[in-house]
Amino acid sequence: MLLHVVLCLGTSAFKSPDEFKVSLPLRTNYLYGKVKKTLPELYAFTVCLWLKSSASPGIGTPFSYAVPGQANEVVLIEWGNNPIELLINDKVAQLPLFISAYGESSTHICVATWIYAETSMWEAFQDGEKTGTGDNLAPWHPIKPGGVLILGQEQDTVGGRFDATQAFVGEMSQFNIWDRVLKPEDVMTIANCSANMPGNIIPWIDSNVDVFGGATKWPVESCEERLLDL
């Protein structure tokens, strides 16, 4: 029975298809991960991930989503000594998230937005706690479907024209996206390792992430091990 289960999981190189991290060891313009799935049209979303930065100043770009006509459709970036920013349709929200450069441990962050509204709002969470909210980000702007989702680089054109100074250097895992605003309890439950909730539109699954240019996939420490590192 156990053997049967193992064989059925044979398409994943890892113990279970979500138990991997992507390592981006160098600040270059050619090392990145690519999520094979694209986004549908979105009126709200939550994105969460664990990350560990090993660069300074600025963690760079954990992820970017570009569509034809708008390279900055959704971008999370910390460039130089600026705060971490969420860009939607090239509009900017500065987020109260603080990721240490050369951090010893992983940090869990989530950003939730409800953009298709007059008071287009966002909420930021770090290690399960809400660290701030804001509004007027990109009112009445649905996220456009069918673009390209890149891990570790900022796109100046769909799928390319990366800039080494904006690259993320470090490790990331459990990059999940939901098409709704997660409740604060759900964010805490994920961050404190009480539950593994895969994103309903982008789940963190080995077969859904390709790596390029020297980026690599590794077995990830367990959620509890990441927490104990804190």
Ligand X SMILES: *[C@@H]1O[C@H](CO)[C@@H](O)[C@H](O)[C@H]1NC(C)=O
Q: How far is the CB of 209 from ligand X (least distance, A)?
A: 27
Nearer to ligand X, 119 or 194 (CB): 194
Q: How many CA atoms lie within 13 A of 176 on its CB side?
A: 24
Using only C-alpha atoms, the chain has a radius of gyration, in whole angstroms, of 17
Tracing tokens 């479907």 back to the chain, one arrives at 145
Q: What is the DSSP letter of 197?
A: -
For strand 148-151 and strand 32-35, is the pairing parallel, antiparallel, or unpaired? antiparallel
Query: Is 189 one of the binding residues for ligand X (CB under 6 A)?
Result: yes
Taking contact as CB under 6 A, which single stretch among the options 89-97, 175-183, 186-194, 207-215 is the one that binds ligand X?
Answer: 186-194
Min. distance of Cβ 176 from ligand X in angstroms? 17
Q: Report the DSSP beta bridge partners of residue 46.
A: 112, 178
Q: Does residue 188 touch ligand X according to CB under 6 A?
A: yes
Q: In terms of CB distance, is 124 or 187 closer to ligand X?
A: 187
Binding to ligand X by residue 194, rule CB under 6 A?
yes
56 phi/psi in degrees, rounded to 5: -160, 150
Residue 182 interacting with ligand X (CB under 6 A): no
Provide the binding-site residues for ligand X, judged by CB under 6 A.
Answer: 185, 188-189, 192, 194
